[in-house]
Structure 1
Amino acid sequence: MTGYKQIILATALITGCLPGIRAQKSNPGIQEKMSPATGQQDRAFWVKTLYKIAYPVVHNLAQGTLKKNMPLEQGSNYNLVVKDVTYLEAVGRTAAGIAPWLALPDDHTDEGRLRAKMRTEFLQGLKNAADPQNPDYLNFEKQAQPIVDAAYLAHAFLRAPKALWEPLDTVTKQRYIRAFKSLRNRNGAYNNWLVFAGLTEGFLRHIGEDYDPARVDFALNKMKEWYAGDSWYKDGDLFSMDYYNSYVIHPMLTDLVKTLEEKRPGKMHVSPGDYETVLKRMVRHAEFLERIIAPDGTYPAFGRSVTYRTGAFQALGQVALLEKLPEHIQPAQVRCALTRVFYNMFAGNQNFDANGWLVLGFNGHQPMMADVYTSTGSLYMATLGFLPLGLPADNAFWTDEPADWTSKKAWNGQPVKKDYKVEY
């Protein structure tokens, strides 16, 4: 039995299974009837699932074997240099998703010990990834794609500074600072990529480093210009019907504005009320995301990058993590809705290969759904749906009784708040 499979078996024994669910070896399908679980059981399932997804990336990076062992699967029309970009994609995206969970304090629970183990391994992996002499040294200097995934790594440092940034030794920190600054000699796409560049520079400002204020202002000003209304931003000059408002725009823009509010010498990039505005827009967008989860826990597979799977719910998870859900959306209904989504996606093994790596597809191996920029590393955006694990186990999100989510209420004839556009 491989080390990975031993870990997953041990985790399964720790957490058990949700009531009414039997272990699945393949796609479990959509279950019409499923016994409600307690919040503690839901949390155990989330922990088990996030650990299963993240473990191959984190463990191999700690061992210096990420490049050796990670598959290089890509779509038929893939147009990047895969070895230059896919490993940083896997690391940055995984980091952003697991950061809130790793930021929780240590305790003596089974979950706490598992969390401490992953944090220790990831800190070692971060050191390896910045070391030019390590086999897993990550590329920041070639291609445009690192602009994207450096931002996810910077986002992880902002989300969990005491867990992931401050413990790094001085040499490793300086290596990441140099890597982030090296991105300035390239331009990316004229769309949500502006937010990536702005967030990385915002992180440099946050830690007291020289940063590029022009990249920050360009991101802020264009997103104001591209706001279409009712929480939807255009992704460039034209509107795109996809999940990029949640994959990227709302979470990164909100956290960028928040960090820019800090009083620091130099240029002021935001005005009073800017944070409240972007936060309200993200909260409104979270309403949409909660409503699109069907009664059976499915959601529409539309737009580009649907192979990012549960990353589609990053904005909803971040609003829950911030405890800013609207009054008519109870934390437990978000927990139950996302648990059902995660069950459909990850209770079986249809989205993993024999060694536990994610495979190209939406809910199964469906490489025809991959975009021209999608490879194995890209898929670890899926971790971004698990942000509420950063809430402690005694938070109401986890302790409240199970609750139906909006679409389930609506289709069962229960009272549902009428939805209407907002003006901010």
Structure 2
Amino acid sequence: MERRKFIGALSFTGVLSFLKPNEVFSAEKNKNSALSTKPKNDRVYWYKLLHKIANPVVSNLANGTLKQNMPLITSPTFDSRSPTVTYLEAVGRTYAGIAPWLALPDDNTEEGVLRKKFRQQAVTGLDNCFAPNSPDQLNFSKDYQPIVDAAYLAQTFLRAPNALWKPLKPETKEAIIESFKLLRSKKPFQNNWLLFGSITEAFLLSIGIAPDEKRLNEGVDKLTEWYKGDGWYGDGPHLAFDYYNSFVIHPMMVDTLAVMLDKNLIKKERYDLALKRMQRYATGLERMISPEGTYPPIGRSITYRTGAFQALSQVALMKQLPDGIKPAQVRSALTLVKQNMYETPGTFDKNNWLQLGFCGHDPDIADYYTSTGSLYMATLSFLPLGLPADDEFWSAPAAEWTAKKAWAGKKFPKDYHVDF
């Protein structure tokens, strides 16, 4: 460890002081460089990294060239679904991750100027791809996969209604509504997929469209029935030890119930319980981050990379972090995770499209349903960018997270099972 710190101090930290921000991301860096350096400004690092990840999707969609330029790479074990589902995957997942950031008000900072342009591109892209005869029209009718990524698009609009829904052309809105309704003819699988149907209907409800009540309720009811305790829902009747509680279950459960509460369809106690369960799960996620800024590559869909931290990121965005977890420690931990993951050679191709893999490029680690568009679940760990720059999450000094304190022999909070 000391040797690594010494080498990092000699070879990189001094150089970082005069690099331009975009140069931080160029480069076939030493794989371990992230372990020995720290960005001077975490927020700048986050938004530039998010822009790097999301820009190929958003800018190509705005230009009508998404299908033309996006690599269509599938897992070596890809199943019988059409590979073209990858385009809606890329759009829905990317937009759900960038939505809170784009929802911030305009300002004249470097970030604000970039964010405004990016938001305009995002809106233009949606208008373009839902236009008749668009070369980038998205598939909502073939296969079952569109159930998933329509849900992330619906979650996008719930997270940023003023920034990404209201500015759309009337004909775009109508096309989206009809596309979402079209999915009612497809029944989700009896697992986390039920929540995809629920949140899509919740979005329609939020804009005054009568929902399919069975579809709206089935997801939140069945997942509640499958709750296993201590912050973990079953993915179906059985527990799955993977990150689907973060990729899907907690965020979509809470966001769906928030709409239902706003429309007086449930009691507040039900929403509060779901939020407490997400907070408990977030406690575990924070403790999974090692002192070195790594986390366990467990379960399915690890190619979704930092999407594994969506639940923790969302409670931070909501300013609902569990007691004993400070915003700065979450920021500091996730910053190092992002460095370790996204600065590893092979993560991006030469045009900055994400490549199949976990830490770097490894197509063999991809599951049978994984293709290029699937990977953009990674953006879901960037939700705290929806907090303004002067929020404590960004402005407080760097702080050690739980595992970092524990393995340094420092005091850290004890952890106990909860019964709710």
TM-score, length of structure 2 as denominator length: 0.93
User: In the alignment, residue 102 of structure 1 is paired with which amino acid?
Assistant: L
The answer to whether the aligner puts 1:99 opposite 2:99 as a matched pair is: yes
1:405 paired with 2:401, answer yes
Aligned partner (choices 375, 400, 409) of residue 371 of structure 2: 375
Corresponding letter in the other structure for 2:327: P
| Structure 1 residue 125 displacement after superposition | 0.4
Residue number in structure 2 paired with 1:174:
174
Residue 257 of structure 2 is matched in structure 1 by 257
Structure 1 residue 44 displacement after superposition: 0.4
Contact 2:293 2:337 in 1 (8 A): yes
1:386 corresponding residue in structure 2: 382
Residue matched to 2:31: 28
Partner of 1:88: 88
In the TM superposition, residue 350 of structure 1 has moved relative to its aligned partner by 2.3
Q: Distance in 2 between matches of 1:311 and 1:127?
A: 26
Contact between 2:79 and 2:369, CA under 8 Å: does it hold in 1? yes
The question of whether the paired residues in 2 share the 8 Å contact of 1:80 and 1:373 is answered with no
* Alpha-carbon distance in 2 for matches of 1:217, 1:260: 9
Query: How far, CA to CA, are the matches of 2:94 and 2:80 in structure 1?
Result: 20
Please give the alpha-carbon distance, in whole angstroms, between the structure 1 residues aligned to 2:359 and 2:21. 26
Cα deviation, residue 348, structure 1 = 4.2
Rounded Cα–Cα distance in structure 1 between residues aligned with 2:297 and 2:42: 24
Contact between 1:88 and 1:139, CA under 8 Å: does it hold in 2? Answer: yes
**In the alignment, residue 297 of structure 2 is paired with which amino acid?**
A
Conservation of the 8 A alpha-carbon contact between 2:82 and 2:143: no
Structure-2 separation of matches of 1:57 and 1:16: 21
Structure 1 CA distance for aligned equivalents of residues 328 and 308 of structure 2: 19
Q: Distance in 1 between matches of 2:119 and 2:410?
A: 43
> Take 1:24 and 1:409, find their aligned partners in 2: how far apart are those partners?
32
Counterpart for residue 12 of structure 2: none
Q: Is 270-279 or 193-202 further displaced after alignment?
A: 270-279
Contact 1:14 1:110 in 2 (8 A): no
Contact kept? 1:26, 1:350, Cα under 8 Å: no
Cα distance, 1:221 vs structure 2: 1.3
Aligned partner of 1:6 in structure 2 is: none
Kept in 1: contact 2:254–2:274 (CA 8 A)? yes
CA distance in 2, matches of 1:27, 1:257: 45
Q: Measure, in 2, the Cα distance between the counterparts of 1:361 and 1:213.
A: 39
Displacement after TM superposition at 1:262 (Å) = 1.4
Would you say 1:200 and 2:200 are equivalent positions?
yes
The 1:414/1:166 distance shift into structure 2, 3 A limit, reads same
Structure 2 counterpart SS, 1:228:
strand
Q: Structure 1 pair 26/213, CA: closer, same or farther in 2 (3 Å)?
A: same
* Residues 109, 80 of structure 1: alpha-carbon distance in 2 compared, 3 angstrom cutoff: farther
Instruction: Give unpaired runs (5+ residues) of structure 1.
Output: 1-11
Question: Is 1:236–2:198 an aligned residue pair?
Answer: no
In structure 1, the partner of 2:414 is 418
Alpha carbons of structure 1 residues 219 and 301: separation in structure 2 relative to 1, 3 Å: same
Moved more, 385-394 or 214-223: 214-223
Q: Work out the CA distance in 1 between the residues paired with 2:220 and 2:148.
A: 17
How far off its partner does 1:345 sit? 1.1
* Amino acid in structure 2 at the alignment position of 1:101: W
Give the conservation status (yes or no) of the 8 Å contact 1:59–1:121: yes
- AA aligned to 1:196 is F
Cα distance in structure 2, aligned partners of 1:123 and 1:85: 21
**Count of residue correspondences:** 402
8 A Cα contact 1:88 1:149, kept in partner: yes
Match of 1:13 among 20, 28, 45: 20
C-alpha deviation, 1:219, in angstroms: 0.9
Distance 1:209 1:32, change over 3 A: closer
- Structure 2 runs not aligned, ≥5 long: 1-18
Q: Over aligned residue pairs, what C-alpha RMSD do you find?
A: 1.5
Match of 2:269 in 1: 273
How far has the Cα of 1:349 moved from its partner? 4.0
| 1:290 is the counterpart of 2:286 | yes
Separation of aligned partners in 1, 2:36 and 2:372? 33
Structure 2 CA distance, aligned partners of 1:31 and 1:13? 17
Contact 2:344 2:359 (C-alpha < 8 Å) held by counterparts: no
Render the CA deviation track for 1:179-221: whole Å, top value 9, x for unaligned.
0000011122210000000000011011001210001111121
- Structure 1 runs, 4 residues or longer, greater than 4 Å off: 14-17
* Inter-partner Cα distance in structure 1 for 2:23 and 2:70: 28
Match of 1:323 in 2: 319
